[in-house]
Amino acid sequence: MVEGLKETKFSFPNQTGFYRGKVRDVYFIGEKLVMVATDRISAFDVILPRAIPYKGQILNQIAAKSLHDTRDIVPNWLESNPDPNVSIGLKCKAIPVEMVIRGYVVGHAWREYRSGKRTLCGEPMPDGLKENDRLPEPILTPTTKAMEGHDEDITRNEILEKGLVQKEIYTKLEEYTKKLFQRGSEIARERGLILADTKYEFGMFDGKIYLIDEIHTPDSSRYFYLEGFDTRQARGESQKQLSKEFVRQWLISNGFQGLEGQSVPEMTDDVVEGISNRYIELYESFTGEKFKKSDYSNIKDRIFKNISKLT
């Protein structure tokens, strides 16, 4: 098994800044933003100790395709993909709120619902729902955008009262989020999947709203398999998911939820390979194409050279 790409430490001519996110290494070069999708993986807002081979390539390629497929709804930051792990585009000023939208009671929404809560970020959830049930209508459950640590749930009123986003801008974000989720759901259904929930991030450039970062990837979204969904739900069986939730469930079953005092369980080669295979499965299900593994023999040199050609 190849070793995953854990980090990059490049220095480019005209480089003006660098930022390391949970998954991506971001370089600011001139007026451009260069995003390197590493193989790091995070869960419960914690970066896990081992990288997952090909995960960065998969996320980068799914995100590029999804951004291309939604340009008619909202402009986005992406301009080119000079390498399987790289995206280059506009350097937008990020809006400090993540727009989370949920069509099903799963993950964080289910954990809150199971605890007895019937509102999430001010949005009502009806009584009598089971895990993975479809909501009557998708609900918007935004979070703060934390530079470090945990993102926090926040209501629409709190966002406006704190002045995080101007009302006219936030109203537009809500509109874009609902349209993007509708498009993402339609594309997923065509491929035998259900888009259960996802998140979008936006930024401003020259006074205009742009969609930024990744969209509709397994790191930002949860998918169910459409075939057999209703039968499994009626029987109270677990749903077959195509998302990062299986990583969270593995961590939970091994006593880790990102809480103080907890340690990340050992990630053996078998665990890492299993996660990598699940990401490849998602790519092939989502795109309908066979995944082509990139060459890892000199991956950092390759990435550096391909970025340098365009910057």
Mean pLDDT to the nearest integer, 269-274: 93
- Give the model's pLDDT for residue 84: 97
| Single-letter residue type at 17 | G
Q: Which of 239, 240, 271, 241 is nearest to 256 (CA)?
A: 271
Confidence of residue 310 (pLDDT cuts 50, 70, 90): confident
Model confidence at 146: pLDDT above 70? no
Residue extents of the structural domains in the chain: 94-245
Q: What angle do CA 97, 100, 106 make, to 5 degrees?
A: 145
Instruction: State residue 174's pLDDT score.
Output: 98
Q: Are 45 and 108 spatial neighbours (Cβ–Cβ below 8 Å)? A: no
The pLDDT tens digits of the residues spanning 157-187 come to 999 999 999 999 999 999 999 999 999 999 9
What is the pLDDT of the chain when averaged over all its residues?
Answer: 94
Beta strands in the chain (DSSP E): 15-20, 24-29, 32-37, 42-43, 46-47, 78-83, 86-90, 93-94, 97-104, 119-120, 123-124, 134-140, 143-144, 193-205, 208-212, 221-225
Q: How far apart are CA 213 and CA 200, in angstroms?
A: 8
Rounded-to-integer distance, Cα 261 and Cα 247, Å: 20
For the chain, give the percent of residues with pLDDT over 70.
Answer: 98
Of the two residues 310 and 3, the one the predictor is more confident about is: 3
Q: Which pLDDT belongs to residue 137? A: 97
Contact at 8 Å (CB) between 57 and 85? yes
Percentage of the chain lying above the pLDDT 90 cut: 84
Give the model's pLDDT for residue 148.
55
Q: pTM here? A: 0.86
Tell me which range, 12-16, 100-104, 217-221, is most confidently predicted by mean pLDDT: 100-104
pLDDT surpasses 80 at 147: no
What is the dihedral sign for C-alpha 292, 295, 299, 304? negative
Q: pLDDT tens digits, residue range 27-66?
A: 999 889 999 999 999 988 899 999 999 999 999 999 999 9
For 94-245, the fitting CATH number among 3.40.50.720, 3.30.70.890, 3.10.580.10, 3.30.470.20 is: 3.30.470.20
SS3 293: coil
| Cβ partners under 8 Å of residue 227, min gap 6 | 192
pLDDT tens string 83-114:
999 999 999 999 999 999 999 999 999 999 99
